[in-house]
Amino acid sequence: MSTYASRCSECGSARATTSVLAEGPYDLDILPGTRHHMLLNSNVPPLESDLESIRSMISRTGTRLVSLDDEILGLQARLAKLEEERTSLSNLRAWNMGILSPLRRMPPEILGDIFWWTLPLTSEAAAYCSPLNLDQSPWLLTRVSSRWRAVSLATPSLWSRIAISYGEDSYPPSLPMTHTHIHRAQKLQIHFYGSEIEDSGAQIELFELLARHSSQWEHLSLGLTTYLVPLLPGLRDRLPSLVGLWIQWQSPESQSGAKSIDCFHTAPRLVDVGIYNEFRAIPVFLPSHQLTRYDLDATWETHRGILALGSNLVEARIVVAFDGEPWSDPNPIADLLCLRRLFVSHLGILDYIRAPALEGIAIYIKDSTWSDGLDPLQSFLLNSKCRPGRLCLKGAPTASAATEILRKIPSVTALSIVCHPADRDPHACSAVVNTLISQLVIPDPIEPPSRSHPLIAPQLSEIQVGCQNDTYIDYNLYLKMLQSRWIAEKCPLKAATLAIHLGTTPDPQTLNGLETLHQDGLDLLLLEGLNAPSIIARWTYLSD
């Protein structure tokens, strides 16, 4: 036997307890072959002579159970005390280690850069007004420690973005909170999306507060409503720092009283403009002569006026819409000597411009456009004497259309295909993209190319495929296409992207094949879901 200290289970007082563990199991063992052993392993009733030994065993086991319970209770009390001591020491050790943390010696400017990465994405910020949320960065940073608060308040770039969207699930900030946010910033990036159904008075009041600081605006994104349009003239000649502008309309009703917008043409630094009219063309007067980028859906004559003065344009996204009039004579042709990236919604646009420095071109293709043939593209390439290395085909680019365009532009090394049929039929979208993928398969070197499967664009080093609606990709075919180009001797394929907004996902076997290509050195990116549309948009030079 052994004696140890324990506590009473009822009163908690210390007492000496004798352990029966040291006695060993021999005194409780029931040997095989004995009558007691037989009774335990059968249903035979005990005799009168058996009762004394059985009752003795019951008494001894009960005594031992009480001793074991006492010992367990003592060990549990001891364990709890040790765990409490360990937690206390662990916390004390962590606090002392924190004194030696490199974060305490990190320069404030580096800490400020780290803080910048904690800011929510602009899309999330606009949806939930999170930059003006106490539980989100940068407001949350001010509540961690005095040093973090000092660094965050001394870093104006953390406070530059104000994103406000009025909707059912949004919670616009209060005026005092917005005023404090503005006070902590130097330059401002304003994202303000109004609503026709929410309280107009609150929207006007908040926008007027922001407008009082318009001299600090560097970027302005507006979702216009009938309440906001009358406030825009007050911005004229008060935008000295504005560099980027995006305008869209909340609904057709929002455009009902708008005739034109003329408050931005005097902004001396405005160089990047995007406007999505969607419902009706609203004239917006712009400083066209200083623009380096524009993205606009408007009548052709509106575009032509901008292009005539757009000698500084580096990127243009030309979407002709709301146009019932025939286009005028292409002379004079606009010389866009700085243009590097171009998207056109109609091939006929190319008859009106010359871009000798063009590096990338994106074209929207639909049946009516394709019926016009490739004459505008051929003339444009000949007149511009450009050799674009990047080509994007959007819409419903049939295999024959894609093949013919690639043959006309042999300088293309990066091909992007954005399948977006006008009818948005998933089966039509699936057929288009799978046929295109099959045409890009490099034939087996043992079998020479045939008329039914010619060798198409072996010079491609990058292939991007994106689908913006429900799509069913033949992933086995996609894998076959990549494998054929990866092993072909004269194919310099280095990178591939497949971006699917909605649709099926590859099976495990196909995923293994794609992973093998990636491990062999192919720069492979597979995207699905909400991340896909933003990546696809970049291929057509769409505004962020």
Same domain, 395 and 542: yes
Number of domains in the chain: 3
- Tell me, yes or no, whether 314 lies in a domain: no
- Calculate the alpha carbon distances from 474 to 392, 429, 436, 501 in Å: 21, 12, 11, 15
**Which letter, b or e, does each residue of 507-541 get, where b requires 16 or more Cβ atoms within 10 Å of its Cβ?**
eeebeebbeebeeeebebebbbeeebeeebeebbb
d(CA 214, CA 275): 20
Same domain, 252 and 191: yes
Which of 19-33, 220-234, 327-341 shows the lowest per-residue confidence on average (mean pLDDT)? 19-33
Same domain, 80 and 186: no
Same domain, 123 and 10: no
Contacts with 307 (C-beta within 8 Å, 6 or more apart), sequence order: 313, 316, 318, 334, 336, 352, 353
pLDDT at 447: 60
Per-residue pLDDT of 366-381, as tens digits, reads 754 454 568 899 999 9
- The residue-averaged pLDDT of 85-109 equals 89
Please, what is the angle between helix 108-116 and helix 146-153, to 10°? 80
Nearest to 358 by CA among 331, 382, 324: 382
**Per-residue pLDDT at 219 exceeds 90:** yes
Range picked from 3-7, 49-53, 385-389, 448-452 for highest mean pLDDT:
385-389
pLDDT at 544: 66
Beta strands at 2-7 and 14-19: parallel, antiparallel or unpaired: antiparallel
- In percent, the amount of the chain with pLDDT more than 70 equals 88
Query: In DSSP terms, which residues pair with 361 in a beta bridge?
Result: 342, 391
Q: Please indicate whether residue 477 or residue 123 has the higher confidence score (pLDDT).
A: 477
Reported as type and span, the H/E element at residue 163 is: strand 161-165
Q: Which residue has the tokens 């455009």?
A: 255
**Per-residue pLDDT at 220 exceeds 60:** yes
Per-residue pLDDT of 314-352, as tens digits, reads 999 999 998 877 788 888 899 999 999 999 999 999 999
Residue 276 sits at φ, ψ, to 5 deg, of -120, 100
Whether a cis peptide bond, with omega within 30° of 0, leads into 448 is no
pLDDT band at 75 (very low <50, low <70, confident <90, very high): very high
Beta strands, E only, 356-433 = 360-365, 390-395, 414-419
- Tell me, yes or no, whether 482 lies in a domain: yes
For residue 436, the domain's CATH number is: 3.80.10
pTM of the predicted structure, to 2 decimals: 0.78
- The residue-averaged pLDDT of 270-290 equals 96
Q: Please indicate whether residue 93 or residue 528 has the higher confidence score (pLDDT).
A: 93
Q: Please indicate whether residue 356 or residue 535 has the higher confidence score (pLDDT).
A: 356
Per-residue pLDDT of 166-203, as tens digits, reads 876 667 778 999 999 999 999 999 999 999 998 899 99
Q: Which residue has the tokens 């980028």?
A: 293
d(CA 412, CA 361): 10
Cα 383 off chain centre by: 40
Nearest to 273 by CA among 228, 303, 238: 303
Same domain, 395 and 433: yes
pLDDT at 427: 73
Of 82, 99, 116, the one marking the end of a domain is 99
pLDDT at 225: 95
Name the amino acid, one letter, at 53. Answer: S
- The residue-averaged pLDDT of 462-490 equals 88
**Per-residue pLDDT at 4 exceeds 50:** no
pLDDT at 3: 44
Of 70, 99, 128, the one marking the end of a domain is 99
pLDDT band at 2 (very low <50, low <70, confident <90, very high): very low
Same domain, 138 and 56: no
Of 67, 99, 131, the one marking the end of a domain is 99
Same domain, 190 and 91: no
Same domain, 144 and 94: no
Same domain, 8 and 147: no
3-state secondary structure of 273: strand
**Per-residue pLDDT at 98 exceeds 60:** yes
Q: What is the DSSP letter of 372?
A: T
Contacts with 147 (C-beta within 8 Å, 6 or more apart), sequence order: 104
- Calculate the alpha carbon distances from 116 to 81, 138, 147, 151, 241 in Å: 44, 8, 16, 11, 22
d(CA 461, CA 491): 7
3-state secondary structure of 98: helix
Same domain, 119 and 198: yes
pLDDT at 27: 57
pLDDT at 330: 81
- The residue-averaged pLDDT of 379-385 equals 95
- Tell me, yes or no, whether 528 lies in a domain: yes
d(CA 198, CA 220): 21
pLDDT at 470: 66
3-state secondary structure of 245: strand
Mean pLDDT rounded to a whole number for the chain: 87
Residue 534 sits at φ, ψ, to 5 deg, of -65, -35
d(CA 412, CA 31): 90
d(CA 344, CA 346): 5
- The residue-averaged pLDDT of 140-157 equals 93
- Tell me, yes or no, whether 384 lies in a domain: no
Q: What is the DSSP letter of 201?
A: H
Look up the domain containing 162 and give its range: 108-257+272-285
- Tell me, yes or no, whether 415 lies in a domain: yes
Same domain, 532 and 397: yes
Q: Which residue has the tokens 């004390």?
A: 92
pLDDT band at 477 (very low <50, low <70, confident <90, very high): very high
pLDDT at 23: 47
pLDDT at 368: 44
Same domain, 117 and 59: no
**Per-residue pLDDT at 506 exceeds 90:** no
Residues 497 and 535 sit within 8 Å (Cβ to Cβ) = yes
- Tell me, yes or no, whether 28 lies in a domain: yes
- The residue-averaged pLDDT of 390-415 equals 89
- Tell me, yes or no, whether 229 lies in a domain: yes
Reported as type and span, the H/E element at residue 407 is: helix 399-408
- Calculate the alpha carbon distances from 446 to 242, 443, 483, 543 in Å: 61, 8, 16, 46
pLDDT at 191: 94
- Tell me, yes or no, whether 322 lies in a domain: no
